[in-house]
Structure 1
Amino acid sequence: MSDTEHRRWLITGCSTGFGRFLAEAALARGDQVLLTARKPEVLADLAAQYPDTARAIKLDVTNPDDVAAAVAAGDEAFGGIDVLINNAGFSVVGAIEELEPEEYRPLYETNLFGVLNMVRAFTPQMRARGSGVLGVVSSVGGQIASPGMAHYSATKSAVEMIHEGMQGELAPFGVRTLIIEPGLFRTAIIGSLWYPKNIMPEYDHASGAVRRRMDGAVGNEPGDPVKAAKLIIEQVYDDNAPLRLPLGIGAAQRIKDKAARVTANMEALEARADNTSFDKA
């Protein structure tokens, strides 16, 4: 599809953050967007601004009925969806021992299983059509786990592996996957972080330090979400775009540094690892 053509988007979590900025950018270029939020009334202004190309619906990605209704809404409004961006998600900041199951399980339900619900719902129409983009807003944390952020990184790493695996599954059908890996951007995500009910002083050096750093970063994040949205759209329209899209100053370098550490680890143990097979003395 050329840059002059238009695509039909469904973006989850459009009420704030990347979802809102990306929806605004896609609509501004003339694309059609199915706007989604748990409370769709917060999208009324955007839907009213673009009455011919925007529709707002209720969507909780953990609710199978909502997901099925989103497929039907995309078909009714636009005749289908070309681009699915799984953006809805949240984060908790706490050490593994600090967080109770009722605090971390919802994270997996939304960030991981919600993404799977959406992907499974929209893949059939893209595969049958022979085109489409399945994108997910992951994070630099999808590649690098930090103290206090292990659960969040686990959900993001999982969806990265899902989209990496789907890349090979769906390429023969003309469907691409895109993994978006932002660093800190000036959106509402930091201000909406969840903290544990029972904060343990034993982890003040780890999760406590992360919480203080996050609190101090609100309103001072270096990333510009308007520029990020523009780059995401460019990658969606580029049929030869690579699988991963790092976003923000230092994001690519941090991921490259992690890759270098993993490579060094493998090189240090490669010979000994190879010697554990049956055909080695």
Structure 2
Amino acid sequence: MTVLSVNVNKIAVLRNSRGGLLPSPLAAAKVCLAAGAGGITVHPRPDRRHITPEDVYEIAAWLKGQQAEFNIEGNPFAPPREGYPGLLALCEATRPAQATLVPDSDGQITSDHGFNLRQDGERLRPLLRELKAMGCRVSLFMDADSPDIELAAELGADRIELYTGPYAEAWDAGDASASLTLCAQAALRAREAGMQVNAGHDLSQANLGAFLRAVAGVEEVSIGHALIGEAVYDGLAATVAAYVRVIDGVRQP
């Protein structure tokens, strides 16, 4: 069964827009798990514009007593600086179940492409070893049309996370069949190379079911922006429960 990991970054965006402590990403994480989510995702960035290292430590400490996974996303190449110790340092301090490596630049609004492993693979190889030595499962953010998916396995990745932004755009445009085929083929390639498959970016209640029906063997979906946006109208617990129902209603191929 596919696990829903809720990305609580947008809760931190709202808090940071005003300052202070509210709304609390930790409180949101507690609501999400109570409503049926199987994990929590955070994506701290060096500019601290949403999830901060302090949030990471707080959520990680609470999750240690829960039956849920913690997934920390980030760019492993972004150097430490004041207020941001670096992705590997955060993982060493908190020991998440999963570290998802993403090639986003400091000023990037959101992740919008996967790794070019022919360019970055040898830089990643020792970092994957370090993370796995910490006990972290490692997932690499990859485009569905990447020629490098098999190389991810050779570098030591346990999973890939399919970047589903192009699929969501095709869905909104009215014809996602070609994108679904591409994602299904990429997932098959990953599994044949010995990895598992996650997916994320712009997945929503509207497009999630079709994606899971078409793409076999998806272990986890990480969903934040759409889910939090829907929760503005329907409430966080009700929205998480609705996503869980979508997942439960899919018999994967």
- Normalising to structure 2: TM-score of the pair? 0.36
Give the TM-score, by structure 1 length.
Answer: 0.34
Bigger CA radius of gyration: 1
Query: Which has the larger helix fraction?
Result: 1
